[in-house]
Amino acid sequence: MRGGGNMQQMMKQMQKMQKKMAEEQEKLKEERIEGTAGGGMVTVVVSGHKEVIDVIIKEEVVDPEDIEMLQDLVLAATNEALAKADDVTAQRLGQHTKGLNIPGMM
């Protein structure tokens, strides 16, 4: 059984990595990430799991004559928040796979 020890060691490392990644996933659920548009007139808050938690719209941006602009600002703030959430997730989970060359893992 040549290499059996190496395989066992690799499996232990994988289990340890899985546990750490699961812990990070749980922490991400609690993370709050903001995206803004219109110079802070619209703010969208998402979790690290990319769930929209809050939408904050400043009163002065609400113009019944220009609903399209408000929709565009909400869309832009949402997309910014989701992109930031992707970055946070990649950063947090990527630190646990550094140095590993596992096909399909990054």
| Structure confidence by residue, pLDDT tens digits, 23-43 | 888 888 889 999 999 999 999
- Which pLDDT belongs to residue 61? 92
CA pair distance 60, 15, nearest whole angstrom: 52
Place 68 in a pLDDT band, splitting at 50, 70 and 90: very high
pLDDT at residue number 106: 45
Instruction: Answer whether 67's CB lies under 8 Å from 50's CB.
Output: no
* Residue 61 maps to a domain: yes
At residue 37's C-alpha, the angle toward residues 35 and 42, to 5°, is 85
* pLDDT of 85 above 50: yes
Q: Is residue 44 over pLDDT 70? A: yes
What range does the domain containing 58 cover?
A: 28-99
| Residue 23 domain flag | no
Q: What CATH number should be reported for the domain holding residue 40?
A: 3.30.1310.10
Q: Higher model confidence: residue 90 or residue 37?
A: 37
**Residue 12 falls within a domain, yes or no?**
no
For 75, phi and psi rounded to 5 degrees?
-60, -45
